[in-house]
Amino acid sequence: MLLQYFQKNNLFVLFVSFLTKFCLRKCVRLCFWASLKSFINSVNPRDYVAIKLGLSQSDPLYEKRSQLLQLLNIPKNGELKVLPAPEHISPELLAFVRVFNMNEEQLQHWISSERATDLLHIDCALETSLESKTWQYLQTRLMLLLRVFPTTLEVDETQLVGVKCGKFQMAQIPAMILEYRILEKRILAAALDYAKQRTKA
């Protein structure tokens, strides 16, 4: 009798239609986040954030800096990598910033040295003042990169949680962009903390 009543008043059709759409949306949402999770790995050690750095030709020490970077096989203008933990700073990025902050005497020393590639290593023996300038420069650069984003990491993470649990609606492409932005910010924020620790050391 109840079924006949629903059918007579077209309520049954409306109910089935609503139920189908509801289940379909849930299924699509679950499939989307499952595929997104497999596509974007939040702990992928091969992830990185590329930052552009370069020498200025107006720098009086431009030629010597270029010469030393060439010995290290590092471009004088290009993109260098900020890495996930535990490395944080790629060897090429670290060496570039060290060269960038050297004075003429230091540049000449390393150009003439047979151990110039030691500059690629985190524990390279350097003057305290140069090492301090290096990590201070990296700290400042990473802070500026994070400030470029219109939102903070905390805001993005809260929004993503809301999207995943269905509290907020977001199309697939913007959701993927949000996920990538969070991964990028996490790498930069962790590298910034690391640079701060090295600056204090």
Question: Using one digit for the tens of pLDDT, what is the confidence trace for 37-85?
Answer: 444 455 566 789 999 999 999 999 999 999 999 999 999 999 999 999 9
pLDDT for 41? 52
This prediction has a pTM of 0.76
- To the question of domain 45-200 being in CATH 3.90.1420.10, the answer is yes
Burial (CB count <10 Å: 0-12, 13-18, 19+), residue 25: exposed
Give the residue extent of every domain in the chain. Answer: 45-200
Q: What's the DSSP call for residue 57? A: T
pLDDT for 201? 67
Sequence-ordered list of residues with C-beta below 8 angstroms from that of 111, at least 6 positions apart, any chain: 64, 67, 68, 71
